[in-house]
Structure 1
Amino acid sequence: MRQLSVPGAWLHTPTVHPDSRGSFHEAYRAADFTDGVGRPLRLAQANVSVSRRGVLRGVHYADVPPGQGKYVTCLRGAILDVAVDLRSGSPTYGNWEAVELSAANHRSLYLAEGLGHAFLALDDDTTVMYLCSEGYAPGREHGIHPLDPELAIAWPEDVRPVLSDKDAGAPTLAEAAAAGRLPDYATCLAYASIRTATDC
């Protein structure tokens, strides 16, 4: 597990074992995850999405507590996966980092509670699975417009983004901050400490 420039986001690159039959790799290993992140992955829900090229999902986040940590893997095709620091008061507030996850590179991205998550499908029939620490709760789920110029996420210029009505109508980062809808950095750290103490 390698921590990205956005604290709370970790990239897992597995060792792939190819042979004449195909290949094998460990997409998730509890001991390695716990060593890297500092606590085990709590699994409450597993989601699978299928997207055509250009579909842009996010930026999504949930109220903390309890938030929703996500372990994201691309099973087919490829995505540009983005972690965004939406935590008010964070030293890296508003920063983001993008990594490519694909069926070819077998990488996974973990995003801790309080971070924003978005991805752009780079191929047709791209299939993404994300393991979630909490179940879906509509009243706690929020979004930031993924094309917000203040965030300035560098989406590929050769892909025309396709957004859902909900994502297209999401507020900008400044609007969400003004409305008091963003996770608080200190609260996120305190919640992570509590979870570490109870889950380990």
Structure 2
Amino acid sequence: MNTPGEAQHYTLALLVKLFEHLPLSVIVQILYDIVCQLHQSCIKWGFLKPYMSCTTFSISIFHAFSHQWPCQIIYHLCKTIGYGLLDGEGAERLWHSLSQLIAYGQVAGFHVRMYHLNSQLEFANEEGLFKLGGWLRCKLFACNAKWMEATQVLASCRFEEQVLYNEWEKQVQVQTKPLPCMFLSLTL
């Protein structure tokens, strides 16, 4: 990568390479800052066409609110089926943990930079494994609490789940359709 900005061709090339190594029965969930643009490009230009049936697209929690309302309705992580309570910020946390190496890495040689990155990643991996049990326990309690709350809310609303899904689909259709064109007629 030698240009600034988000270039879709890098993402598409990585995804094609990933799909070459996966069976078509695997569902790939793509979390990307500008996934709405990537998804529309895939639809319009046929990118990833053989893999679209086993792919879902979503925007991480942090980036979702900088998008327009229709993007939030369609691609927000909490509104996309299959992502659970994921926030999609794992890579951001990883880069933050490595940020202390940026200044040093700019002046270090290639091999020294790779050694330090590798050492830092190994340390983070060992530390993460050591704390994994407590993290899983905390997440399990949080999931159970959310499940209980959602079950109570669903039971109290007096509607079947399928009716709610259908209403949500109608709401998405209405709130994502193009706005009518308003022409200003000037009469002289």
TM-score between the two structures when normalised by the length of structure 2: 0.28
* Larger proportion of helix: 2
TM-score normalised according to structure 1 size: 0.27
Kindly indicate which of the two structures has a greater share of residues assigned to strand.
Answer: 1
